[in-house]
Amino acid sequence: MRIDILTVLPELLNGPFDHSIIKRAKDKGLAEIHIHNIRDYSNDKHKKVDDYAFSGGAGMVMTIQPIESAINALKAERDYDAIIYTSPDGELFNQKIANSMSLYTNLIILCGHYKGVDQRIREHLITQEISIGDYVLTGGELAAAVISDAIVRLIPGVLSDETSALSDSFQDNLLSPPVYTRPANYKGWKVPDILLSGDTKKIENWKHQQAIERTQRLRPDLLKDSED
């Protein structure tokens, strides 16, 4: 999978992809993440990428030209499955969307900034608009990092044990059961006996029951979603 991220603040994306699982995915050639500075595509002599809103009011709007030029340059090289725009008014990101995006070969993520992008970009160039939650970030970069992380780890071969993605919270609309490691007794805080029993069938049942109980208690909306 190849992800091209378009941003006015590339520095913000220096860290998230250079560690742990995502770095391993890149090293193994399973994912490529390219960060592009939108300013590099501006035809303006001062490399301007924003302008005042026609409607007036506070805040700048990202202009069409640099973004269209950046997207066109990328599209000239390869086909893209999706051109995503990160914005608080997009579709709420979840595991189901991450699963479907993990099947993409090439995608572009445009990070919103300032008051957002000129609406015509959304109408003519963007194919999917994604929000990562009902709160407003200073820009779309962190959202792009969250989306990229969630989808890259789902690419087959990225996680060393592929079943570990299948058993993630949300994969079946259930939260994960609790996990424990050694020691079995820490100052009187004990691991549930069943986990020490060696009876794999009983342990699997227990885990499933725990997942259902936790989901009912913490996220009953997920159980409702799976009925729909």
Binding residues (CB under 6 A) for ligand ADE: these are: 86-88, 112, 131-133, 135-137, 140, 143
CB 51 to ligand ADE: min, Å: 19
Helix (H) or strand (E) holding 88: strand 82-92
CB 112 to ligand ADE: min, Å: 5
In one-letter notation, the amino acid at residue 191 is V
Q: Long-range contacts of range 141-146, CB-CB < 8 Å, 24 or more positions apart?
A: 141/5, 141/7, 141/9, 141/12, 141/13, 141/111, 142/12, 143/86, 143/93, 143/111, 144/5, 144/7, 144/13, 144/86, 144/109, 144/111, 145/13, 145/16, 145/17, 146/93
CB 74 to ligand ADE: min, Å: 20
CB 7 to ligand ADE: min, Å: 12
**CA dihedral in degrees (212, 91, 26, 164; nearest 10)?**
10
Q: Which residue is nearest to ligand ADE (CB)?
A: 143
Whichever of 66 and 140 has its CB closer to ligand ADE, that residue is: 140
Whichever of 24 and 115 has its CB closer to ligand ADE, that residue is: 115
CB 170 to ligand ADE: min, Å: 18
Whichever of 75 and 115 has its CB closer to ligand ADE, that residue is: 115
Judged by DSSP in three states, 108 sits in strand
**CA dihedral in degrees (59, 64, 68, 70; nearest 10)?**
-40
CB 143 to ligand ADE: min, Å: 3
Whichever of 141 and 168 has its CB closer to ligand ADE, that residue is: 141
Whichever of 73 and 136 has its CB closer to ligand ADE, that residue is: 136
Percent helix, percent strand, percent coil in the chain, to nearest 5: 40, 20, 40
Whichever of 131 and 215 has its CB closer to ligand ADE, that residue is: 131
Beta pairing class for 189-190 and 128-131: unpaired
CB 73 to ligand ADE: min, Å: 23
Whichever of 36 and 113 has its CB closer to ligand ADE, that residue is: 113
**How many other β-carbons are positioned within 10 Å of the β-carbon of residue 139?**
17
